[in-house]
Amino acid sequence: MLYRMLFPETVWRIHSKPHTVYLTFDDGPIPEVTPWVLDVLDHYGIKATFFMVGENVLRYHDLYNQIIAEGHQVGNHSYDHAQLDSQTCAQALADLQKNDDLLQELRMGVTRRQALTRLARRCGIQEMQLFTAAIIQADKLGVGMAQTLEIQSGNMREARRQRAKEEAAKLPVKILFPTMIFIFPVMFVVVLGPAIVSLINSMGK
């Protein structure tokens, strides 16, 4: 009930005929399962709704086109299947919006190259721009997508590793001033305090 109050424009229920089953499939499209599902649905003349992950749509764009061509519906299942409950509300909504924009562009007939270019422009992140540029280049040259994604994932891991090293190198400088301000005075009092008290007592005698 709370979700319906927060998102009043969202469709939560629809009027349906009795004894009607609505089939939905999540996390696709993926080549290991989606083609088989489409074959079974086609055999029995059934239409379904596929809730898609944006990264998979870009990776297996032909399967996305097949789903649309065979008359099925598509829905938003986040862009990269992140755990939305571990994100802030703004982060979760941004992730869903990114995937929604992608699906909208593809529905309107925008090519994958155009969708990737616009995605990189919207994100404004250098790593995403490099990633989409590599995907577009591989598509133009006919290079295997799996090989391209493997190389790009390795590059991204290396970039994250380098950023972690840079942050680790800055850590001693960042903690120097808090240490001098908060820790050293306490240590001074703990170590020298008793000695000063003993000295004062000796001088008093």
Residue 51 reports pLDDT greater than 90? yes
Quick one: how far is CA 126 from the chain centroid?
Answer: 15
pLDDT band at 6 (very low <50, low <70, confident <90, very high): low
List, in order, residues 6 or more apart from 103 with CB less than 8 Å away: 52, 54, 57, 74, 76
pLDDT band at 109 (very low <50, low <70, confident <90, very high): low
pLDDT of residue 36: 95
Residue 117 reports pLDDT greater than 90? no
Per-residue pLDDT, averaged over 166-171, amounts to: 81
Residue with more model confidence, 80 or 44: 44
Instruction: Copy the structure tokens of residue 88.
Output: 């802030």
What is the Cα–Cα distance from 168 to 174, expressed in whole angstroms?
10
Helix, strand or coil, per DSSP, at residue 186: helix
Per-residue pLDDT, averaged over 86-100, amounts to: 82
- At 140, which amino acid appears? K
Q: What is the pLDDT of residues 57-79, one digit of tens each?
A: 888 888 888 888 888 888 888 88
Q: Measuring CA to CA, which residue among 4, 63, 52, 64 is closest to residue 24? A: 52
Residue 127 reports pLDDT greater than 80? no
* Helical spans, DSSP H, in 45-180: 54-59, 61-69, 89-107, 112-123, 126-141, 145-178
pLDDT of residue 150: 77
Task: Enumerate the β-bridge partners of residue 70.
Answer: none
What is the Cα–Cα distance from 28 to 33, expressed in whole angstroms?
8
Mean pLDDT over all residues of the chain?
Answer: 79
Phi, psi of 59 (to 5 degrees): -75, -40
pLDDT band at 110 (very low <50, low <70, confident <90, very high): low
What is the Cα–Cα distance from 61 to 110, expressed in whole angstroms?
12
Q: What is the pLDDT of residues 18-46, one digit of tens each?
A: 888 889 999 889 999 999 999 999 999 99
pLDDT of residue 198: 75
DSSP state at residue 85 = G
Peptide bond before residue 29 is cis, with ω within 30 degrees of 0: yes
pLDDT of residue 87: 79
Q: Of 27-36, 129-138, 188-197, which gets the smallest average pLDDT?
A: 188-197
